[in-house]
């Protein structure tokens, strides 16, 4: 019998988890240590946005397995470092077999770092200014202990960065809503 979306079930240690978390050790670790936990820093949000962009057309598991390589290649997703990348860095990244080697995604990541640095108050302030609080009116709803998946109610936080003056580039593959 297939799991009903939002249904939790016991994992190997008896702890209740979302069913998708049981399909690999990487997913299990991601679920237990990161899923549903707030990311409050510009660097952390920039990393998640960048990885979501690289994930387009691939599974999140592929990205989780390459995340250490991405962090090394993109200098820990430190905004100033990535914003300073030039043509030689693009060539270096295109030659790095440890990451997804897609020129458009690499260039979007670099451009997004530059744009994020130009956002008054920072990227995190923009995102959290629109995200609401889980469990509060207007925040993400929980269904049987699981937070809804990607694409459910994600359009609103990204609208302000598309206004004139912000310049944040489209991150390929990041959904803008349901």
- Annotation says 47 is catalytic: no
Of 162, 147, 157, the residue nearest 37 (C-alpha):
147
| Active-site residue (options: 27, 30, 47, 158) | 30
CA gap 98, 19 in Å, rounded = 28
- Annotation says 60 is catalytic: yes
Backbone angles phi, psi at 146, to 5 degrees: -110, 140
Q: Please, are residues 56 and 174 in contact by the beta-carbon 8 Å criterion?
A: yes
| Active-site residue (options: 20, 27, 47, 52) | 52
Residue 90 class from Cβ within 10 Å (0-12 exposed, 13-18 middle, 19+ buried)?
A: middle
- Annotation says 30 is catalytic: yes
Q: Give the residue numbers marked as catalytic.
A: 30, 52, 60
């Amino acid at each position: 019998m297939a799991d009903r979306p939002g249904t939790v079930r016991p994992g190997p240690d008896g702890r209740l988890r979302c069913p998708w978390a049981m399909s690999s050790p990487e997913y299990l670790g991601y679920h237990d240590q990161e899923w549903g936990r707030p990311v409050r820093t510009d660097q952390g949000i920039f990393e998640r946005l960048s990885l979501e962009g690289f994930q387009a057309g691939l599974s999140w598991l592929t990205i989780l397995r390459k995340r250490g390589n991405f962090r090394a290649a993109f200098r820990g997703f430190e905004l100033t470092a990535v914003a300073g990348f030039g043509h030689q860095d693009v060539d270096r990244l295109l030659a790095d077999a440890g990451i997804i080697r897609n020129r458009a995604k690499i260039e979007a990541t670099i451009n997004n770092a530059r744009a994020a640095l130009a956002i008054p108050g920072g990227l995190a302030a923009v995102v959290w200014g629109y995200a609401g609080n889980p469990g509060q009116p207007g925040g993400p709803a929980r269904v049987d202990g699981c937070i809804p998946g990607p694409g459910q109610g994600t359009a609103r936080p990204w609208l302000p960065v598309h206004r004139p003056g912000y310049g944040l580039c489209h991150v390929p593959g990041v959904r803008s809503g349901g």
